[in-house]
Structure 1
Amino acid sequence: MSKFWEKEFTCPFCGTKFKKKMVFFDSIKIKARDIDLKPVFEDVNPMFYEVVTCPNCYFSAFDKDFETITIKGEETERKLKKLLEEAKKKVELKNVENHVEAIKRYALSGMVYSVLNQRKKVAISYLKIAWLFRELGKSEEEKRYLERALKEFESHYKYDYYEESDEPMILFYLGVLNQILGNRKEAARWYELLLRKYDGKSLYAKVGRERWQELRRS
Structure 2
Amino acid sequence: MEEPQVKISYYLKHPILCPVCGTSFYKEEMLSGGGRLIAKKITDELRREYEPSKKVGEIYPLIYPVTVCPSCFYSAFPEDFLLIRKEFLPVALSQKRKRKSDVSLVFPVLDFTKPRTLFTGTASYILAIGCYSFLHKDQAPTFKKALASLRCAWSFHDLDRKYPEQNYDKLKIFMYRKAIGYYEKVIGYAQTGQERIDGVKHFGPDLDKNFGFEGVLFISTLLLFKYGDEGEAEKTVQKLMSAKRIVSRIFGSGKSSKSKPSFILDQAKDLYEKITQRIAELS
Runs of 4+ in 1 over 6 A off after TM superposition: none
Number of positions where the alignment pairs a residue of Structure 1 with one of Structure 2: 215
Shift, 1:209, TM fit: 2.6
Aligned amino acid, residue 19 of structure 2: P
Match of 2:67 among 12, 35, 52: 52
Give the direction of change, closer, same or farther, for the CA distance of 1:198–1:177 in structure 2 (3 Å limit).
farther
Shift, 1:73, TM fit: 3.6
Asked if residue 190 in structure 1 is aligned to residue 246 in structure 2, the reply is yes
Q: Percent identity?
A: 21
CA distance, structure 1, for counterparts of residue 132 and residue 71 of structure 2: 18
Give the direction of change, closer, same or farther, for the CA distance of 1:102–1:204 in structure 2 (3 Å limit).
farther
Match of 1:163 among 198, 203, 207: 198
Shift, 1:176, TM fit: 1.8
Asked if residue 86 in structure 1 is aligned to residue 98 in structure 2, the reply is yes
Q: Is the CA contact 1:123–1:149 (under 8 Å) kept in the aligned structure 2? A: yes
Partner SS for 1:32: strand
Shift, 1:46, TM fit: 1.2
CA distance, structure 2, for counterparts of residue 210 and residue 86 of structure 1: 44
- Normalized per residue, the structure richer in strand is 1
Moved more, 165-174 or 47-56: 165-174
Q: Is the CA contact 1:146–1:177 (under 8 Å) kept in the aligned structure 2? A: yes
Q: Is the CA contact 2:84–2:134 (under 8 Å) kept in the aligned structure 1? A: no
CA distance, structure 2, for counterparts of residue 58 and residue 140 of structure 1: 24
Partner SS for 1:153: helix
Give the direction of change, closer, same or farther, for the CA distance of 1:154–1:79 in structure 2 (3 Å limit).
farther
Shift, 1:61, TM fit: 1.5
Correspondence for 1:103: 122
CA distance, structure 2, for counterparts of residue 93 and residue 124 of structure 1: 22
Moved more, 101-110 or 20-29: 20-29
Shift, 1:198, TM fit: 8.5
Q: Which structure 1 segments of 5+ residues have no match?
A: none
Q: Is the CA contact 1:191–1:212 (under 8 Å) kept in the aligned structure 2? A: yes
CA distance, structure 2, for counterparts of residue 205 and residue 59 of structure 1: 36
Asked if residue 21 in structure 1 is aligned to residue 24 in structure 2, the reply is no
Correspondence for 1:133: 156
Q: Is the CA contact 1:191–1:209 (under 8 Å) kept in the aligned structure 2? A: no
Partner SS for 1:81: helix
Asked if residue 122 in structure 1 is aligned to residue 122 in structure 2, the reply is no
Match of 1:210 among 239, 261, 266: 266
Correspondence for 1:6: 11
CA distance, structure 2, for counterparts of residue 169 and residue 188 of structure 1: 15
CA distance, structure 1, for counterparts of residue 145 and residue 125 of structure 2: 9
Shift, 1:204, TM fit: 5.4
Shift, 1:111, TM fit: 0.6
Q: Is the CA contact 1:11–1:17 (under 8 Å) kept in the aligned structure 2? A: yes
Partner SS for 2:270: helix
CA distance, structure 2, for counterparts of residue 199 and residue 14 of structure 1: 50
Q: Is the CA contact 2:75–2:128 (under 8 Å) kept in the aligned structure 1? A: yes
Q: TM-score, normalised by structure 2?
A: 0.66
Q: Deviations over 1:23-56 (max 9, x none)?
A: 1242433222221112222232111222221111
Asked if residue 63 in structure 1 is aligned to residue 78 in structure 2, the reply is yes
Q: Which structure 2 segments of 5+ residues have no match?
A: 1-5, 52-57, 162-167, 190-194, 201-211, 229-238, 278-283
- Normalized per residue, the structure richer in helix is 1
Give the direction of change, closer, same or farther, for the CA distance of 1:47–1:164 in structure 2 (3 Å limit).
closer
CA distance, structure 1, for counterparts of residue 101 and residue 11 of structure 2: 28
Aligned amino acid, residue 122 of structure 2: I
Give the direction of change, closer, same or farther, for the CA distance of 1:171–1:205 in structure 2 (3 Å limit).
farther
